[in-house]
Structure 1
């Protein structure tokens, strides 16, 4: 009706369809996607507390429908002999390659690159080696403090590192 005044009936019908599609899609994106996400980012706890009960109710009501559609999807997957689950075999070498590519492209700063590498180096360190390092540092610090405060009347046990015998 809006476009009938300006366009031929056939063209008005096509333009009306396109405009209504764009309008409905835009409103859906705005109110069903962007606005709830922003509200959730602004006040996550408040949103979570207010929405949990309606979500639980919806899950209870729609469980049979979800079960039905999941069963239909499984049937289609079996029919076409497709795998039911995805196999993710990502190795640390894959992650190293991605991190290295990010560093070369300038996406990662040098500090971030080193931090990620250090995280993976921790996997190769054994617990005793990390523990020994901490103990050695603790012993050196406590011995130095004891020497510095000798004769000040301080209790030497105050400088004792738990689990480490005094030298």
Structure 2
């Protein structure tokens, strides 16, 4: 699998699937979750409600339609909220590994990932980057391209440096 890094907006990525850093309820919210729900439109929310009436547990992944997004699917993951005391690193690792497993089930060959739990969930940036890069590189998958999407130049530079290490 090729690991790539781009600077941009995850909602505009022309890939088979985009990964959403969702909350447990999967009903939209702030950050990446809100952006994906806004750009994907009502179809994403309706599919979340139908497929996951009780949401998802932390560390788990599930898919829905991508609605109006360029991607075909949204793979929703629920990262641990470090700021609220959820500090089990294996749950963050699970988000990336489970997202790849769901992508394999769907037959997705290209998947765009945000940096899960690094925003409002306050996971320490250096470790969030290490988990993303290490897990994407070490998880067996049929995905051909895992694309880390950096929102802003500073994050792009951090992700590029980590992906080259």
Task: Decide: shared fold, TM above 0.5.
Answer: no
Structure ID, larger Rg:
1
**Higher strand fraction (1 or 2):** 2
Report the TM-score when normalising by structure 1: 0.18
Structure with greater helix percent? 1
